Amino acid sequence: MSATLPACLAGFRIHLVGAKGTGVCALAELLVGAGAEVTGSDVDDTFYTDEVLAAIGVPVSPFSADNVRGGVDLVIHSKAYTAASNPELAEAEALGVPTMSYPEALGSLSASRDSSGICGVHGKTTTTALAGVMARAARLPTAVLVGSAVGAFGGRSTITMGNELLIAETCEYRRSFMAFKPRRVVLTSVEPDHQDYYPDYEAIRAAFVEYLVALPPAGTVIYCADDPGAVDAWTRAEAARPDLRGIPYGFSAPGDFGMEGYRVERERGIFKLRGFGLEWRLRVPGRHVALDAAGAVALIAAIVADRDGARRLSEDELSAMAEALESFSGSRRRSEVLGEVGGILFMDDYGHHPTAIRSTLAGLREFYPERRLVVDFMSHTCSRTRALLDEFASSFADADLLVLHRIYPSAREAPDPETTGRLLYERTVSATALAGRPSRQYYEDPLDALSFLSGELRPGDLFVTMGAGDNWKLGRALYEAGKAAAEARVKGRP
């Protein structure tokens, strides 16, 4: 039985199936903030979201049909679960309790507010997080939802400064973003990905065009002029909907949000926007992050103009936004700094597409030119690895030492015995043989590399785990071992 969220959520009882998922947990924060009474269920495994759910007062139980009995008004579920696979959804169906998927629930919430959706194959999480800190600096009455924990949000995935506006990360996978009802969209990038659902570039581009064309009359598209796929999608959407307003941003963009003079000084990325006099400074590495920042500034400017009769951002607002940008330290698994021990800087990054890998490593090389760059990568899904094998193999040129592993599997596709981590390793060896770098190693399981890396890492290194798999555990194990060794040395001093 389908449903919509009521206008008033005070006292409304909602149960979340798959509550520990990043998106569902973030939605829980918004629902609790709006006055709903929320419970949840999930697997026993511990995730960082357990702490968030406990802090906002959402109890989480194992899956059981009993959880939806006794007066639940609505069940919201992760799209990973169906009535055929989950006892709670089956019971809700039997009892006639309304249900909604996470994208449907977020879409219902967006329809009741002045909403902005941020989308793209790359950069949507960071752009949304940056838009959130800038919206707070500009004192906009908005709620913000990001698909990752953000340090500037107190380690959570949402912040709420009011309920008039909503800024949310929206996902292209299986066209989930079509449930969202924005007034304006930020489009960061379009290129082949999610090959288990989109077989080629034309298929994924069509989904983004569909999202843009669904905007209301005179809707706004803020698009990255440096990304060919984003420009392609905008051009097609504009042809279908001439009433849409396009705002380009980037190094090749005309207008106010054209970027100029990017440089790195003392581990800060510095750039200007053509329409504004001040400099913007970032402590997160990479020109791709500077692009995300420009898109976020463009979004805040568009929101202010729409709310206040085409008003431009004031000098005070711009100054506060620039200060917020420089204080931004990133979000979970996006060039996330774990810490430094023994002169080795440990980082973790979610980059799992060749373009993201290449731009992230280039940014790290530019920010830390004196450090040896040691990269541990775990590919995710056989379909993506198979479709982009050569692109993956050539994406690690900035690494000095590369460690690869088995492919992290996905429940959404069957294993492919012909597409393996070993195949990616062999292709990478071939691709980099002439360049003479990086040095390459292969360990089937990430933790199998623990002994090798413990002996290999040395002061001055930057070690980064990359990918959407579980090799982040290796980075944390090495970091914790380094801390323990340092503490033991201190205690052993006379």
Residue 463 lies in a domain: yes
Do both 302 and 157 map to the same domain? yes
Q: Is residue 26 assigned to a domain? A: yes
Among candidate residues 309, 327, 345, the one where a domain is terminated: 327
**Are 151 and 121 within one domain?**
yes
Q: Is the peptide bond before 438 cis (omega within 30 degrees of 0)?
A: yes
Task: Evaluate if residue 267 carries a pLDDT over 50.
Answer: yes
Please say which residue of 277, 296, 327 terminates a domain: 327
Are 309 and 163 in the same domain?
yes
Q: Is residue 411 part of a domain?
A: yes
Q: Which of 30, 284, 18 is nearest to 143 (CA)?
A: 30
Same-domain status, 235 and 311: yes
Torsion of CA 181, 144, 236, 272, to 10 degrees: 150
Mean pLDDT score, 141-147: 92
In a domain, 190, yes or no: yes
Question: How confident is the model over 279-300, as a mean pLDDT?
Answer: 94
What token pair was written down for 276? 């504004």
pTM: 0.83
- pLDDT at 23 (0 to 100): 87
User: Is residue 7 included in any domain, yes or no?
Assistant: no
Same domain assignment for residues 345 and 322: no
Q: Which domain holds residue 28?
A: 13-101
Q: What is the pLDDT of residue 472?
A: 92
The total of structural domains in the chain comes to: 3
pLDDT of residue 418: 85
CATH number at residue 168: 3.40.1190.10
pLDDT range class, residue 437, cuts 50, 70, 90? low
247 and 294 co-located in one domain: yes
The gap from C-alpha 232 to its chain's centroid, in whole angstroms, comes to 23
What's the CA gap between 300 and 138, in Å, rounded? 8
Task: Show the tokens assigned to 272.
Answer: 């200007």
446-449 contacts at long range (C-beta below 8 A, 24 or more positions apart) = 446/376, 446/378, 446/405, 446/470, 446/471, 446/473, 446/474, 447/473, 447/474, 447/477, 448/405, 449/376, 449/403, 449/405, 449/474
What is the layout of strands, in order, in the sheet containing 142-150? 156-160, 142-150, 165-169, 114-119, 184-187, 220-224, 245-249
* Pair (20, 163) in one structural domain: no
Q: pLDDT > 90: what percent of the chain?
A: 68
Confidence of residue 387 (pLDDT cuts 50, 70, 90): confident
Res 414 pLDDT > 90: no
**Helix or strand holding residue 50 (H, E):** helix 48-55
Q: Are residues 182 and 64 in the same domain?
A: no
pLDDT tens column, 1-60: 457 898 888 999 999 999 998 889 999 999 998 899 999 999 988 887 898 899 999 999
Does residue 106 belong to any structural domain of this protein?
no
Range of lowest pLDDT (24-33, 63-72, 324-333): 324-333
In this prediction, what percent of the chain has a pLDDT beyond 70? 97
- Region 272-286 average pLDDT: 93
3-state secondary structure 89-134: HHHHHHHCCCEEEHHHHHHHHHHCCEEEEEECCCCHHHHHHHHHHH
Contact by Cβ (8 Å): 372, 294: no
Average pLDDT of span 336-355: 88
pLDDT digit string, tens, across residues 164-187: 999 999 999 889 999 999 999 999
Compute the average pLDDT of residues 425-445.
Answer: 80
Domain end point (choices 78, 101, 124)? 101
Residue 215 domain-assigned?
yes
Q: What is the DSSP string of 426-490?
A: HHHHHHHTTTT--EEEE-SSGGGGHHHHHHH--TTEEEEEEESSSTHHHHHHHHHHHHHHHHHHH
Question: Measuring CA to CA, how many Å separate 235 from each of 73, 213, 453, 466?
Answer: 43, 11, 48, 33
Quote the CA–CA distance of 110 and 181 in Å, as a whole number: 6
Average of pLDDT values for 264-290?
Answer: 92
CA 190 vs. chain centroid, Å, equals 15
Residues 302 and 349 in one domain: no
- Position 434 pLDDT exceeds 60: no
Q: What is the pLDDT of residue 409?
A: 84
- Indicate if 194 and 320 belong to the same structural domain: yes
pLDDT the model gives residue 433: 64
Q: Is residue 348 located within the same domain as residue 291?
A: no
The Cα 337–Cα 287 span in angstroms is 18
Q: Distance (Å, rounded) from C-alpha 151 to C-alpha 160?
A: 15
State the Cα–Cα distance between residues 186 and 218, nearest whole angstrom.
15
Tally of CB atoms within 10 A around 246: 17
Confidence tier at 430 by pLDDT (50, 70, 90)? confident
What single-letter amino acid sits at 131? A
- The answer to whether residue 248 is domain-embedded is yes
Residues 71-91 have a mean pLDDT of 93
204-247 tens-digit pLDDT: 999 999 999 999 999 999 999 999 999 999 999 999 999 999 99
pLDDT at 494: 46
Q: Taking phi first (over 0 means left), then psi (-120 to 50 degrees means alpha), and beta for anything else, what does residue 310 get?
A: left
Mean pLDDT across the chain: 91
Q: Do 141 and 257 fall within a single domain?
A: yes
